[in-house]
Every structure is written in C-alpha cells, then in structure tokens.
Structure 1
Amino acid sequence: MSPYDPSFSSATREASLGKMRKLRQAVFPVINAGKSRHNEDQACCEVVYVEGRRSISGAPRESSRGQGLCFYYWGLFDGHAGGGAAEMACRLLHRHVQEQLKDLVDILQDPSPPPLCLPSTPGTPGFSDRSHLVGPQPCWSLQKEVSHESLVIGAIENAFQLMDEQMARERRGHQVEGGCCALVVVYLLGKVYVANAGDSRAIIVRNGEIIPMSREFTPETERQRLQLLGFLKPELLGSEFTHLEFPRRIQPKELGQRMLYRDQNMTGWAYKKIELEDLRFPLVSGEGKKARVMATIGVTRGLGDHNLKVCSSTLPIKPFLSCFPEVQVYDLTQYEHCPDDVLVLGTDGLWDVTNDCEVAATVDRVLSAYEPNDPSRYTALAQALVLGARGTPRDRGWHLPNNKLGSGDDISVFVIPLGGPGSYS
C-alpha cells in the first residue's frame, strides 16, 4: 500500500509522506558495476504502511494507538540463471512482509506480552463468534515467553517462504526463470532487521567498529545440513551422488582402501573403508567460490530455482535449497549514532574481492572528505565501493590496485546512514 492510496486517512497520509521525505535524504539507489550488457541484480527501496487486519465486523480493528505501522524496506536480489526470480522478488517480497505484519499492528504497539492466540476472522476455518466469552482462560501449562522482536522475525521468515511458493505457482505463466539470493533490511519501531538468504552480505560500520549483520550460505557453510538431508532422503541423490565428503574424488582402483571422509555429524575427519557406493559424485564438492551442490549451484539459500536440475539428469536440486533467511537484529535505540555510522549491503560481487576491513577503510576515507550534513557523501561511498571492487581495465582484464583481478560479477551496493541528518533514531 502506498501513502498515495485513497484509503489512507489524510492524517496518516501526511505522516507517512513526511517520513518518506526524510528517508529520501538517507537512501541511495543500487549501482551496478556495468561490465556487461545484462544485469541480473535487482534492488528495491520502499516505505510501506501496514493497516491492521479486519475485525469480525469487517471494519479495520482499532489500533491501541489509533494508527497502523510504517516500515522502511531495502532489498538486494542477486539473480542467477536469468533475472526473472530477482525481478519478481524485487516487486513483491515487501508486499508479503506487509501482509504478514497485518496481524501484528496492535500487538507491536502494546508493551504487554503477545497473546497466545488471535481471534478468528470471518472466512477462516473454525471461525465462530465467541465475543460473549469474557474473562481469563485457564492456563494448564507453562507458556513460553515470546518477544515482539521474534514476531517480526517470524513475519519476515514467512514472507520469504510465501514469496518462494508464489514463484513456484507462477513460474510458467510469468516466465520466472532462474533464482536469486535475497538480502533484505526492514526498519521497524527502532530496530533494524537484516534477513539474508544467499551469499550477499551486510555489515555495520560504527565509529570504526565492524559489526557483521549476516553470513553467507554456501555449500561449505551448510555442508552438514545438506548431508543430513541426503542421509535421511537418499532418493533425492538417486544413484548418482553420495552424501559423504572425501578430500578428493575416489578412483575405482582405491576400492577397499581406507580413506579420509566425513559425514553429516562430523566437523573433523576420520578414515573409512571405501565401498562401491563411495565412487558416486559427492553431494557437496569443491572449495570456496568453486564449492557446488550436486556439481551445479554455489549457493544453498535463496528464492526460485524450482526448475533447476542436475546437468544431463532429471534429479531436482530445489529440495536441497532453503528459502528461509537468517534474520539478525540491531537496536538503533541502544546507541548514539553519528553521520559516519552506516549499514552497507552488497551482493557477492562486492565481497568476493573486498573484505570487511577494506570496506570500513573506504567508509572512513570517503565520508571524511564530505561535510557531515551533505547527503551526497553516501552516494559517493556507494560508488567508491562498487568501482573499487570492479577495478580498472588493463592488460586484457579488470584489475584492482593490488594487481589482483577485479570482480567479474554484477556488483550492487546500498549504503544506509544510521545517524546524523535524517537519523531514524
């Protein structure tokens, strides 16, 4: 829903537009490296208003504070095998987040613990008008404490799953080809929620300190989850793959020998006798950026990839890929932030050739060259990060100042100020 929607009250519209004007001073668009004619990265920046879900009478529930919620949203979507999934997620994922937050409008604005159950709404299974039942209900067992923060995390997680399910339903009619990694930031009620599914990353640079806000999900980082699934459901591996990992591919002449291996329960290595099934290709193979699941894909979380199959095979890879993000939370109200404190989001095109310390050094170098109240400083920082990872063309290639190769991938960056002019806190 947009603040320009006619269903907005005038007071709500003015409040939301005021916040949007303020936000424009602090948010800057994605920048692609521009090495190729086709860019599979997509980016989204939105201000989204959430009204509470309708009550039994059909009218919007009265919020305890008389208004809905407004959240700020940024998303980076790194597409692969086509740009369809990234474009669809860019256009729709924030709508799923909005829908999941509708049940929480009143709850999040009420300091008391969240209710265990919500009242039924018309059209839902088991609905009945029980408004005549009053008074406290008996509690037969201890009830877990659930924080408001965890409700927002759950809403974001559900939104990712619903987005992935929508891609599965509509992939043929709307040509939703390929898949995408998704890195999303939601700012709501003083807290920043960073949700990551894939190999994009986010860090906060605060007073020179580096605070990681996500981690990569690759065949190496999720080896044990993948191996466990292959162990529990061997039919997903067919007769082509083994869930066990070996230091290298086994040769037929090595049958009967004892070789190093590890399974889904192991972080270390041990020896086992090589059997015929061990000659199959490993479920997880390679190292670093060359690590692959089923010799095909180098990321283990994301959206889409519903048609992805092993090369020259009918084995689907999607069962091993998770659409659920890991969500980390940063409370802006716990710290005093200055104009040089920023949240940096980047696709793997940035992080493949730039480490956290180099990003922090670029933040310090670029921002110190501008006045604190100059909003263009953040645009300049995003450009510097992208150009630094891209390198310069020479000797038939793109090279960094240290003579290493620049990133050959699409490079997209958001720089989000956490303090100073336009401060959210």
Structure 2
Amino acid sequence: MGIYLSTPKTEKFSEDGENDRLRFGLSSMQGWRSTMEDAHAALPDLDTSTSFFGVYDGHGGKVVAKFCAKYLHQQVFRHEAYTAGDIGTSVLKSFFRMDEMMRGQRGWRELAVLGDKMNKFSGMIEGLIWSPRSGDKTDQVDDWAFEEGPHSDFPGPTSGCTACVAIVRENQLVVANAGDSRCVISRNGQAYNLSRDHKPDLEAERDRILKAGGFIHAGRVNGSLNLARAIGDMEFKQNKFLPAEKQIVTANPDINVVELCNDDEFLVLACDGIWDCMSSQQLVEFIHEQLKSESKLSVVCEKVMDRCLAPSTAGGEGCDNMTMILVQFKKPSAESACASSVDKSSTASDEVQDDSKPADL
C-alpha cells in the first residue's frame, strides 16, 4: 500500500464554535495518505479574553502532533510571561518546552499513550484525528516532574511536527510558526501571510543547518527532512555544544504580532496539504466566494478540502493530509485604522520573495 491508499479517505472531522468576539470552523481529512498525522487545537476561550488556535502537521508518525495539540496551549497559559501579558514570550518558550517534555521517562510514557492504542474506556482507536475540546481545562497543576525508570534516558521522538499557532486577545493577534504550515489573514479581500514556510533552502535556515554540522541534499535536511524547523525530530537536535535555537532542526518559532483593525475579516491556519494546492490569495478568494452562500465555517473548510483533493496520486499535490481552521472576526474590538506594517522583530530574515513570506500589512 505504501504511503498512499488505493482510494482516499474523504470522511472529515469538523467542528464549529464561537464566543462574543469571533467564531470558528475547522475540518481535517486523511485523504490519500495511509495514516492521518495531523492534529489541531481550537479553544475560543483559553481565558476570558483570549482565544487559541493551532495546527500541527506530523511527519514520521502522529504522536508529536497529538502531543502538541494536547499540551502546547496549556504551557502557553501556564507560563509566567502569559500572566504578565507577554503572549509572544510565553508561546515561544512553550514551543521549546514541547521538546523538553517529550524526553525522559514521562515523555516516553505519554507518547506511547498517544500512539496507535485502543482506548480501554471508549473502545475506539486512539485519535486518528486529535483535538482538545473547547471546554478542556487549562488550569490543572502540572509541573512535569522528572521520573526515574527504564526510559529515563529517552532522548525524545525521532518523529516530529510543524506547529502554527494563532492567539487572539482583544485587538492583538500573535502568530507563532515553526515549519511549513501557514497562517494567513484576509484584510479587505487581500491575503497577507503572517508566517513564513521554513524550508531548508532559505538562507537563514541553510546557514544554521550547516553551522550545526548538518547538510542539505535534494532540498532536505541531511537528505531526509524537507523542513528546517519542527517540534520533535530529536535526531537533529543532538549537538550538546549548541543551544536549542541553533540546532540543525529547531523548534524556535517565528513570532509575528499584529494589531487587528476594522478591515480584518478572517484568519486561516492550515497545513501544507492545503498550501501545496492553493496560494494564500487563491484560498482567501475561494473562502470569500463560499461565504456568500454558506454561513457554517466548518462547511467552508470542507469545501476547500474537496477542492484540493487530487483525483489520483499521480501528481503528488492534493494527496496529503489536510487540516484547516477558519476564524472569522465578529466585529473589530475597537474602531481602529489598520496599521501600516506588522511587527516582525522576531521573524527570520526577509530574503524570501515568494508566497511563503510574511507580508507587510
């Protein structure tokens, strides 16, 4: 059977939700792939004023994506910087924290639980698609204490995942990204990328990879991974003389902070299974057209996947797992004019001139 099925699995996991500030719809579809390795998180009420959305695209297995969908937003919420109002720092630290938590005895145990195991309570196969429910609590005490045991020296998973996260608090939007999932905002019908696709051939990525002792072959890190940043993939993070942000592959996210305004209509987070088939502008235009006749946002997401699904596996594009979250702003939080630019103080260098580059707003 290989990496592709003989016929695609077109059943979709879809969900809708809302609060007084925004509404969202999401959908995930396995498609032609032999396994579903995407996961996501959609919590419109992370706290009373904050919404959290994340897309996690796994590779080499599903467990790291599921781990992030379960724990990353909890770590953001619990970090001291979050309490102080510094969302950017809290989410940055939480990306690195995922790698730390997946090491050792407890990390090994948790990844084993999130694997392909039968749930003894429900009788269902564990999480072909994993998503925390919007009512999940984030205030449980969990310091992830060190545990001794037969797997205490577990270095972490060799599989990994991309992570693209959007956090909305009042007028502020914070986007964090590591990998090639993407966040796009529609402003007056124009698509603006709020994240950059971290591919090995980008100059900043290539420089880090080579300095850390890695190489690039056929557009892949060490000839195997077609991403330059990811959570997990611990085999690429073993240089004991370098900090986490300078390893061959790093979980270090670009952070983009945007002030929302009246012209902002909706936000899209999606894995590369969508972006391989449609440009950011094409997707924004497609969504605008669908919203003329469809009010349920999850249905709009489903239509995007049907549009992207390839008729066969011959071409490669349209054959990947697909996950998409569509967030529509109900009304601007303030009568504000759009800012002239995006705060890109934490983003990578701007040498890219393609659709993956974060644009000035």
Asked if structure 1 preserves the Cα contact closer than 8 Å seen for 2:182 and 2:196, the reply is yes
* 3-state SS, counterpart of residue 111 of structure 2: coil
Aligned twin of 2:222: 294
What is aligned with 1:99? 78
Alpha-carbon distance in 1 for matches of 2:46, 2:200: 37
Q: Distance in 2 between matches of 1:154 and 1:25?
A: 24
CA distance in 2, matches of 1:335, 1:206: 9
Deviations along 1:280-329, one digit per CA (max 9) or x if unpaired, are xxx1222xxxx10111111111111114699xxxxxxx930111111112
Change over 3 Å in CA distance of 1:225–1:27 after alignment to 2: closer
The secondary structure found in structure 2 opposite 1:412 is strand
Equivalent position SS for 2:69: helix
TM-score using structure 1 length: 0.57
**What is the Cα-based RMSD across aligned positions, in Å?**
2.8
Residue 327 of structure 1 pairs with residue 308 of structure 2: no
The structure with more strand, counted as a fraction of residues: 2
2:180 partner SS: coil
Deviation of residue 157 (structure 1)?
0.6
AA at the equivalent of 1:388: R
The answer as to whether partners of 1:366 and 1:380 remain within 8 angstroms in 2 is no
- Identify the residue that residue 167 of structure 1 maps to in structure 2: 102
Contact in 2 for aligned 1:33/1:390 (Cα 8 Å): no
- Which of 217, 220, 224 lines up with 1:285 in the alignment? 217
Change (3 A) 1:24 1:152: closer
Query: Structure 1 residues 408, 329: closer, same or farther in 2, change over 3 A?
Result: same
Report the alpha carbon displacement of residue 210 of structure 1 after superposing the two structures with TM.
Answer: 1.3
Q: Distance in 1 between matches of 2:21 and 2:33?
A: 29
**In the TM superposition, what are the counterparts of 1:49-60 in structure 2 within 5 Å?**
none
Distance in structure 2 (CA, Å) of the matches to 1:367 and 1:98? 33
Pairs within 5 Å for 1:112-151: 151=86
Alignment-derived partner of residue 340 in structure 2: none
Cα separation, partners in 2 of 1:322 and 1:352, compared to 1, 3 Å: same
SS in 2 for 1:163: helix
Shift of the 284–383 alpha-carbon distance from structure 1 to 2, 3 Å rule, reads same
Q: CA deviation at 1:175?
A: 3.5
Q: CA 1:104–1:367 in 2, change beyond 3 Å: closer, same or farther? A: closer
Q: What CA distance in whole angstroms lies between the structure 2 residues aligned with 1:95 and 1:161?
A: 13
> How many residues in Structure 1 have an aligned counterpart in Structure 2?
265
Partner residue of 2:58 out of 47, 68, 79:
79
| Partner in structure 1 of residue 191 of structure 2 | 210
Q: Please state how far the C-alpha of 1:104 moved relative to its aligned partner.
A: 4.8
5+ residue gaps, structure 2? 1-16, 113-156, 239-245, 335-361
**Which consecutive segments of 4 or more residues in structure 1 shift more than 6 A?**
none
Partners of 1:224 and 1:336 in 2: how far apart? 33
Aligned equivalent of 1:183, options 164, 169, 192: 164
Instruction: Sort the Cα spacing of 1:319 and 1:355 in 2 relative to 1 into closer, same or farther, 3 A.
Output: same
Match of 2:330? 419
Structure 1 residue corresponding to 2:267, chosen from 343, 352, 371: 343
Alignment of structure 1 residues 232-311 onto 2, 5 Å: 236=213, 283-286=215-218, 291-307=219-235
Verify the 8 A CA contact 2:273 2:319 in the aligned structure 1.
Answer: yes
1 CA distance for matches of 2:28 and 2:318?
A: 14
Counterpart CA distance in 2 for 1:381 and 1:206 is 18
**Equivalent residue letter for 1:153:** G
Residue deviations 1:122-180 (CA, integer Å, cap 9, x gap): xxxxxxxxxxxxxxxxxxxxxxxxxxxxx321121111111221123344333364110
What CA distance in whole angstroms lies between the structure 1 residues aligned with 2:273 and 2:232? Answer: 20
Q: Which residue of 2 aligns with 1:227?
A: 207
Counterpart in the other structure of 1:131: none
Aligned letter for 2:307? G
Structure whose CA Rg is larger: 1
Aligned twin of 1:45: 42
* Structure 2 residue identity aligned to 1:203: V
Corresponding residue to 1:356 among 273, 280, 289: 280
Higher relative contact order (CA 8 A, sep 6+): 2
Confirm or deny: 8 A CA contact 2:22 2:329 kept in the other structure. Answer: no
User: Does the Cα contact within 8 Å between 1:43 and 1:90 map onto a contact in 2?
Assistant: yes
Is the 8 Å Cα contact of residues 217 and 301 (structure 1) preserved in structure 2? yes
Residues 82, 89 of structure 2: 8 Å contact kept: no
Using the aligned pairs only, state the percent identity: 22
